[in-house]
Amino acid sequence: MKQLKRRGLPFVAIIATVLFWGLSYISTKSLLETMTPFQIAACRYGLTVIILLGIGFGMRWLKPLPFRELPRLMLAAFIGIGVYFVCENSGLKLTTAGMGSLIIATIPVINTIVTAFWMKKPTSSMVWVGVLLSVAGVFIILQGGADFSFQSLWGNLLVLGAAFSWVAYTLLNQPLSRAYDVFSLNAYQAVFGAIFLIILAWMEGVDMPRFTPGIAVNLVFLAFCCSALGYFFYNYALRHLGSTVVTTFINFIPVVGVLGGVFILGESLGISQIVGGVIILTGVFLVSMGESRVTA
């Protein structure tokens, strides 16, 4: 029974993570009806900071980091939290939640391209086939989006910008995550990211809407489930299941995002979005499998 529990809990954690992160696009899209992209990002990370610092001080998990790492830490927070959520939220205002989740799914592909050319990382033929398929799928989606308009095209490009910013954040953060406590690193970066987003929301000069139960539920879901609990569950599953299993599950996030957009928000899917989405997911799967074979 204990063995089953030890083995079962990581699977529960990664399934919950996939659901949280897949449905995050639905919550963000819902909030965009009454809040600006900057306001959503600022409120989300403001709440996230309160949660993380509360846990960190309460459990005594926060550890100091060397002052010399402050520039890299702040730059990573600016790119991985500030730029990422500004681009993603602004893009989701113009495109659908389903399309946004599919484009974000190309992050492993973008990371593979960057590391192959910049860091000269050895890459298998399977990975390159996956890269080409994913690029083709993104091209199909970027041709117009759900309504074939310039607005959805611009929204998709903004979400693609978020994907690139996450790859840059990952590369910046790698030396820090290897050397320092991950919880403390995430908490400190959340603080700097929240400060940047709050300043942007303030400079925007748009009055905050009256908080309704719907707004509160979506913001708490994004801050607690997606930003705080989601990362904890992800790291817990990664530690117990390994990167190959976890990556396989993570590939289902856009599926949750697309299905959530259709069944919860009533979004429509055209044939080009279905074809492009299937091609992207196939490419991402090949990249993930190829990467796991190289690192095995």
Quote the pLDDT of residue 120.
Answer: 73
8-29 residue pLDDT tens: 888 999 999 999 999 999 999 9
Quote the pLDDT of residue 243.
Answer: 66
3-state secondary structure of 34: coil
* Cα–Cα separations (whole angstroms), residue 175 to 115, 181, 185, 226, 291: 15, 12, 11, 24, 20
pTM of the model: 0.86
Quote the pLDDT of residue 4.
Answer: 46
Cβ atoms 255, 60 nearer than 8 A: no
For residue 115, the surrounding DSSP H or E stretch is: helix 107-118
Cβ atoms 159, 181 nearer than 8 A: no
224-257 residue pLDDT tens: 999 889 888 887 887 788 766 787 788 788 889 9
